Amino acid sequence: MPGADGARAVKNTDESHPANEFGRYCVRSGPEAHPAALSVIPGLVREPETLRFMRARAGDGDIIHAGAFLGDFLPALSFAMAQGRRVRVFEPNPGSFDAARRTVALTGRGNVTLTNAALSNREGPLLFRTRDGEGQSPGGLSRVTEDPGEVQAVMPDVVAPLSRRVTILRFDG
């Protein structure tokens, strides 16, 4: 089980999967300059106060987390969940979704549900920028746009049954 919610660095011995006190992470080549990658590569915790707040308040409910990027919050949140509770994660960018999926696999917890879609107030295709002008992933900077590039959008009350108690709703942006 991971340690306290501090921002202390952990010495990384596995360069292919950097680690901090909560777990290991998949950092794909390309978006290394993103704040999440800049935190986990040297073994730090990104936004330790936010994580401390979320972990303390997860309680007996689920967490809905929109915009996971590489999944830098997922190990810390997955270990904070009560028995039978889930972290429901939505990531529309295919490259970021893959990195988050790998981070979840490295965590080894079965309480994270990861969906490759945007969270929206309506279901269906959504114009969403997941590539820059050179075809590269913008990392955690994907956004709704008028430019071509569709992703699927889902509604939170459709993918998380109304019978489930949700204690935290987090939108990254």
Instruction: Tell me the DSSP string of 39-81.
Output: HHTTTPPSSHHHHHHHHHH-TTSEEEEE--TTTTTHHHHHHHP
Q: What is the DSSP letter of 154?
A: E
Query: Which structure tokens are listed for 166?
Result: 């949700």
* pLDDT (0 to 100) of residue 6: 42
Q: What is the CA radius of gyration of the chain?
A: 16
How large is the average pLDDT for residues 39-52?
Answer: 92
Spatial distance between the Cα atoms of 52 and 73, rounded to a whole number of angstroms = 11
- Express each pLDDT in 1-22 by its tens digit: 344 444 444 454 555 789 999 9
How large is the average pLDDT for residues 111-127?
Answer: 88
Query: Which structure tokens are listed for 111?
Result: 């309480």
Q: Which residue has the tokens 């590569």?
A: 41
**Is the pLDDT assigned to residue 56 strictly greater than 90?**
yes
Q: Is 13 exposed, middle or buried (0-12, 13-18, 19+ CB in 10 A)?
A: exposed
- Residue 22 half-sphere exposure toward CB, CA atoms < 13 A: 28
Higher-pLDDT residue of 140, 87: 87
* pLDDT (0 to 100) of residue 94: 84
Percent of the chain with pLDDT strictly greater than 90: 45
CA distances from 30 to 85, 97, 130, 137, 171 (A): 33, 14, 13, 8, 23
Q: Which strand (E) or helix (H) includes residue 98? A: helix 94-107
* pLDDT (0 to 100) of residue 12: 47
How large is the average pLDDT for residues 33-50?
Answer: 86
How large is the average pLDDT for residues 12-34?
Answer: 77
* pLDDT (0 to 100) of residue 119: 87
Domains of the chain: 19-171 (3.40.50)
Spatial distance between the Cα atoms of 54 and 28, rounded to a whole number of angstroms = 26
